[in-house]
Amino acid sequence: GSGPALLVAADTDVVIDGDILGKPRDAAEAAAMLRRLSGKTHIVHTGFAVIDRTRGVSQDGVESARVTFLELNEEQLARYIASGEPFDKAGAYGIQGRGALLVASIDGDFYTVMGLPLARLGRAFASLGYELL
């Protein structure tokens, strides 16, 4: 059929205390998520799939990382939310933007937190016969 021969899809969730935090619907929900993450450690899971439509084969997986936030005050939360950055991000923050300033530490792969675990994705491509290096 028509369309790309190789498809890559990925999605990310933030989990704290067993609860999944998706993308906030509004500023109030973003603030609630960020308050919940403030000063605590959470897990970021990014799932991915690589599909070779030509050969009908695929690889998929999930990578996880632990992220610890700094303690955030209400002024910091308000400024970050006003930036607009939280609204299309799981857990209401983007590690690749201003959200990096919210983070005290990452245990795991930065790209997993960003939403596309590149090293693992590279291995998936290699297992399908596409060497990227």
Rounded-to-integer distance, Cα 111 and Cα 6, Å: 21
Q: Which residues have CB under 8 Å from 53's CB, separation 6+?
A: 1, 3, 4, 5, 6, 7
Three-class HEC string of 31-61: HHHHHHHCCCEEEEEEEEEEEECCCCEEEEE
- Selecting among 11, 19, 26, 60, the annotated active-site residue is 11
**Nearest partner of 78 among 24, 131, 27, judged by Cα:** 27
11 is catalytic: yes
* Catalytically active residues, by annotation: 11
